[in-house]
Amino acid sequence: MRFRVVVLFLMLLSAAVVGSSLSAFAASTPAVGTIAPDFTLASQDGSQVSLKDYRGKWAIVYFYPKDQTAGCTIEAHNFQRDQAQYAQRNAVVVGISVDTTESHKAFCAKEGLNFKLLADTEHKVVKEYGSTMSYQGVEIAARNTFIVDPEGKIQRVYTSVKPNEHSAEVLAALDELQKSASPAK
């Protein structure tokens, strides 16, 4: 009986810590309607990529935990599969993790990815976007996505996304956002 009480107490304490961590996390993400923090990071091909390079286009900035892991591979494959649909919507997809450019290069080669994956090895951008988490004592990127409009403002924020359905969710949001941004006829 005493053991059960201790286990229950530890479970409640754990839930409270996770809950407070998640609420602190949510408060630190850039808000919808604000200018997206600019960044310049190296891509898998070694080129420097800045968010401002995509002004005039919709930018899908997605953060993911680790190259060549199950969920990240599924998410990347879905974004890759839908590249033509993003192009039709004047949108680009950019993935960011704390992995190295070499890791990104190997991931892209193995998985047939041709959109930009950016290396934030100093963890600056993931922190600016409130997209960090700890996994087994190591700080990695949290699975979050930001839709940035052609003027550089954040229009949608997704936290803790589900890799299997996320690209379709983002495409639907782009349709909605672009429809509401179009002048009435």
Query: pTM above 0.75?
Result: yes
What are 123-164's pLDDT values in tens digits? 999 999 999 999 889 999 999 999 999 999 999 999 989 999
pLDDT below 50 — which residues of the chain?
Answer: 3, 5-27, 185
Query: What residues are labeled active site?
Result: 72
Q: Which residues pair with 12 in a beta bridge?
A: none
Q: Output the CATH code of domain 32-181.
A: 3.40.30.10
What pLDDT does 115 receive? 97
Q: Please give the Cα distance from 13 to 161 (Å, whole number).
A: 25
Give the CA dihedral 70, 74, 80, 86, nearest 10 degrees. Answer: -140
